[in-house]
Amino acid sequence: MFTPNYRYGTNIPRPNPIECIGCHHPCQQVIVYASPFQHQDITDNMWFAFFSSPGVLIAGLRHLVVDRNARLCTLHFATPASAYFFINSPQRWYPFQNFLGPSSRVEHSSVEDRLTTYHSDRHYPGHRCHHNYDFTLPPPAIPRYHLYHRHRRHRH
């Protein structure tokens, strides 16, 4: 039914990981609604193999979560840019929409009842995505050398 995704010249298909970097950032997640996601006999690994197959091949896909009760699948991407280009390029949806049926649709994820703002900027370690929350990023830290040798700069 699905073509497994063989990575790095091995004969072992890459399984769907339990967690990825996209789990922590909503701007790296895209929601796909379709009725085939409700089938109990198709596992998450089979869906991951389908979305990673050469016929579909979603660039930057790292992980997916299927909610069978809501008939949706959340695709998690490696970078914000991957999700940004996927959600803004409908031609990337056509290969799997032909399989999932005409009622399938791709939508934005949401944060605190607001639609996610997708972007191509990088994330800063230890900080939430500043595009989707009401706060600004703190200024960069002063390098350690300048903290301890600040007096040398002011002497003449």
CATH of the domain at 81: 3.30.70.330
- Band (pLDDT 50/70/90 cuts) for residue 1 is very low
Residue 30, in any domain of the structure: yes
Contact criterion met (CB below 8 Å) for 38 and 92: no
Query: Integer distance in angstroms from the first to the last C-alpha of the chain?
Result: 76
Residue-level pLDDT at 154? 54
Q: Output Rg (C-alpha) for the chain, integer angstroms.
A: 20
- Band (pLDDT 50/70/90 cuts) for residue 156 is low
Residue 146, in any domain of the structure: no
Residue 94, in any domain of the structure: yes
Please tell me the total count of domains within the chain: 1
Domain span at residue 116 reads 21-122
Residue 1, in any domain of the structure: no
Residue 139, in any domain of the structure: no
CA distance 56 to 59: 9
Residue-level pLDDT at 3? 41
Residue 149, in any domain of the structure: no
Residue 112, in any domain of the structure: yes
Residue 45, in any domain of the structure: yes
Element (H, E) at 82: helix 80-87
Between 148 and 29, residue with greater pLDDT: 29
Contact criterion met (CB below 8 Å) for 92 and 57: no
At 78-103, the pLDDT tens digits run 888 888 999 888 888 888 888 888 88
Q: Residue 10 carries which side chain, given as an amino acid letter? A: T
Residue-level pLDDT at 155? 53
When pLDDT is averaged across residues 20-40 and rounded to a whole number, the result is: 84
For residue 116 the two structure tokens come to 């996610």
